[in-house]
Amino acid sequence: MDILVTGGTVFASRFTAEYFAKAGHNVYVFNRGSRPQPEGATPIIADRHDLGDILRHRHFGAVIDVTAYNGQDVEHLLDGLGSFDNYILISSSAVYPETLPQPFRETDKCGENSIWGRYGTDKIAAEKALFRRVPNAYVLRPPYLCGPMNNLHREAFVFECAEQDREFYLPKQGEMKLQFFDIGDLCRVMEAILQKQPAQHVFNVGNEKAVTIKEWVSLCYKTVGKTPRFEYVAENIPQRSYFPFYDYEYFLDVSAMSSLIGKLTSLEESLRSSYEWFRNNRRSIVRKPLKEYIDKEFRKEKP
């Protein structure tokens, strides 16, 4: 199959391109050519907002849109495409209002989430724009993605703290729960969709169980071969100043996804793969000043 992957140079889009290329497909990626290209894929240097006729003569068995963040992104890509058989959009769990009962289900009404703000409403607009023009398209709504090629300062931040034998500062008592999903499993879901063509067209995707942030940090430290020493931070200090996730606990119902694929990658295995990639790609991490804040505000009297 000829597959077009948008982006292809960073984390989810890069892993997706290389995953399908390794599976034997003819993978094309289109991006602006400002970063190294994925292995095994053919680059098409273009801007999705100014495609002209560069894609008009091509037919793709699948378009995997990893980098659409709003309705205009989807509209401009569709305007520039030729023919295609399948379209898969990677959306987000941020489309669910935090006021809904949990777990969030695909049939729940989407709406503004005060935690995610415009990011979530823009993703809703992207979904609507797609279904208006491609009613048989597929939309995937993941929670926090993890695994190799993750250049965000999430598990990478914890890995660094573990390597440096730092105590770790947790919000409150560390009981907030998070739901993760391995990037490889996301690709397996897309592969299953292309093969099975399910009647359902919107899928929540994610691990079947959530973990507390204390459990997650402990697993990250264990991956590095260390055991964390925890310090707990009061509620009145902004969480994102010293911890990589919002003060927001939510959970997705992923039962429909579970009918598509078998056993998922364990969080432990996902973190091992992530750490292996991280050790060789430290400069790729988009860092935030979390340790700097901790050192300034929490460790003033520590050696």
Q: What backbone torsions phi and psi does residue 118 show, to the nearest 5 degrees?
A: -65, -30
pLDDT at 159 exceeding the cut of 90: yes
pLDDT tens-digit profile of 193-248? Answer: 999 999 999 999 999 999 999 999 999 999 999 999 999 998 889 999 999 999 99
Whole-number pLDDT of residue 300: 66
User: What is the chain's mean pLDDT, rounded?
Assistant: 96
Q: Per DSSP, what are the bridge partners of residue 60?
A: 84
Predicted local distance difference test score (pLDDT) of residue 235: 85
pLDDT digit string (tens) for 22-78? 999 999 999 999 999 999 999 999 999 999 999 999 999 999 999 999 999 999 999
Q: Three-class SS string for 64-90? A: EECCCCCHHHHHHHHHHCCEEEEEEEE
